[in-house]
Amino acid sequence: MTVIPARLDNRIVRWTFMRGFERLDLDRVTPTEVIVTFSGAAPQVMKLADIVETVLFQTDLETELVRTGWTLTDFQATQATDQVPQELLAAGAIAAEGSV
């Protein structure tokens, strides 16, 4: 499984949810982008209109996850380096191609 850290204001921000052996990671990339990765599947980049829409999207998703038996098992917010990981760049490129 590839781990894709998200960068937000020079921080890595990740919420990890588990249900049995299933894993879902929410990475906050920018104030208006969230990367959702489900059990090692290809990451899905969610680009939203503004910070309010992003927070509402993430809050609604987290509420639905908990409602359906998922548990928040980890939260990480650490300083990031200035180099953007290649996996994150690739995920952004995939999302840009799909939004045409």
| pLDDT for residue 24 | 96
| pLDDT for residue 13 | 87
CA distance 92 to 57: 18
Q: Would you say 37 and 27 are in contact if contact means Cβ atoms under 8 Å apart?
A: yes
Of residues 39 and 9, the one with the higher pLDDT is 39
Q: Which residues contact 51 (CB under 8 A, 6 or more apart)?
A: 31, 32
Q: What is the three-class DSSP state of 60? A: helix
pLDDT in tens, 59-96: 999 999 999 999 999 999 866 555 555 555 555 554 55
Tokens of 14: 């990740």
CA distance 29 to 91: 11
Is 15 a residue whose pLDDT tops 60?
A: yes
Is 1 a residue whose pLDDT tops 50?
A: no
| pLDDT for residue 40 | 80
Q: Which residues contact 44 (CB under 8 A, 6 or more apart)?
A: 35, 36, 37, 38, 95
Q: Which residue has tokens 């998703």?
A: 61
Domain boundaries, the chain: 7-98
- Calculate the average pLDDT of the chain: 79
